[in-house]
Amino acid sequence: EAQVTQNPRYLITVTGKKLTVTCSQNMNHEYMSWYRQDPGLGLRQIYYSMNVEVTDKGDVPEGYKVSRKEKRNFPLILESPSPNQTSLYFCASSRQYSNQPQHFGDGTRLSIL
Amino acid sequence: QKEVEQDPGPLSVPEGAIVSLNCTYSNSAFQYFMWYRQYSRKGPELLMYTYSSGNKEDGRFTAQVDKSSKYISLFIRDSQPSDSATYLCAMSLNNFNKFYFGSGTKLNVKP
């Protein structure tokens, strides 16, 4: 089954404690992306990757890091989380340069106290 | 000003009604226009996409793009309770690397 898998699904943590949200896809997609979803603001793109070792900023990259060492994985790293990063996070993947749909994971709800 | 504006609703209609969902945008360079459906506690799933202006129909769904007005619409005919979800519009330039989403319209179809 084609899947984008995010872990953890839920996390409550404290300010300043480094955390990583993992994202893995099994569709051999070149393109992967991270979004955050906040009430009234919709989905906003954090970072995206066109292929292995190629990443670029989206609209709201501040406070986040990513890496793409393997095609299937695209982890999102919060080095020093702050309360304003409390949000619902989605990872997505698709073929590169394609109008084919982005496949989304089921989301990770982060609460930073 | 946000790149993409969408009325958050909620929009409540009786089963069988025709639903109209709309978005406006500010960047005339957008080329691809998409509609996603998002059920509670799930990720968005693509419903339809269109390139440039025009109409596209898929079953009960019709997507319209009016680039001159910077306005896109999604019509749902014969709406069903299973259509109850949040609908997100999204747009992209001609390179498919950055995507801009509306805030979503919550639709409730009452049996």
pLDDT in tens, B13-56: 999 999 999 999 999 999 889 999 999 989 999 999 888 778 89
Q: Minimal Cα distance from B32: which residue of A?
A: A99
- Residue A98: the pLDDT is 65
Query: What is residue A103's three-state secondary structure?
Result: strand
Q: Which pLDDT belongs to residue B60?
A: 97
Residues of B with CB under 8 A from a CB of A: 4, 6, 8, 32, 34, 41-46, 49, 51, 88, 90, 95-104
| pLDDT for the residue A53 | 93
User: Which of A8-22, A90-104, B42-56 comes out lowest in average pLDDT?
Assistant: A90-104
Q: Do A43 and B101 touch (CB under 8 A)?
A: yes
Given CB atoms, is A104 within the 8 Å cutoff of chain B?
Answer: yes
Contact list in A for residue B43 (CB cut-off 8 A) is: 4, 90, 92, 104-107
pLDDT tens profile B44-71: 999 998 887 788 999 999 999 999 999 9
- Chain B residue with the nearest C-alpha to that of A89: B43
Of all residues in chain B, the one with the smallest CA distance to A50 is: B97
Cβ atoms of A9 and A111 within 8 Å: the answer is: no
> Given a cut of 90, is residue A95 above it in pLDDT?
no
Alpha carbon of A98 to those of A39, A101, B57: distances in Å? 29, 8, 20
Q: Which residues, including other chains, have CB under 8 Å from residue B13's CB and lie 6 or more apart?
A: B19, B79, B107, B108, B109, B110
pLDDT at A97: 67
**pLDDT tens digits, one per residue of B85-108:** 999 999 988 777 888 999 999 999
At residue A37, does pLDDT exceed 80?
Answer: yes
The reply to whether residue B43 touches residue A105, judged by beta carbons under 8 angstroms, is yes
Residue B98 has what pLDDT? 86
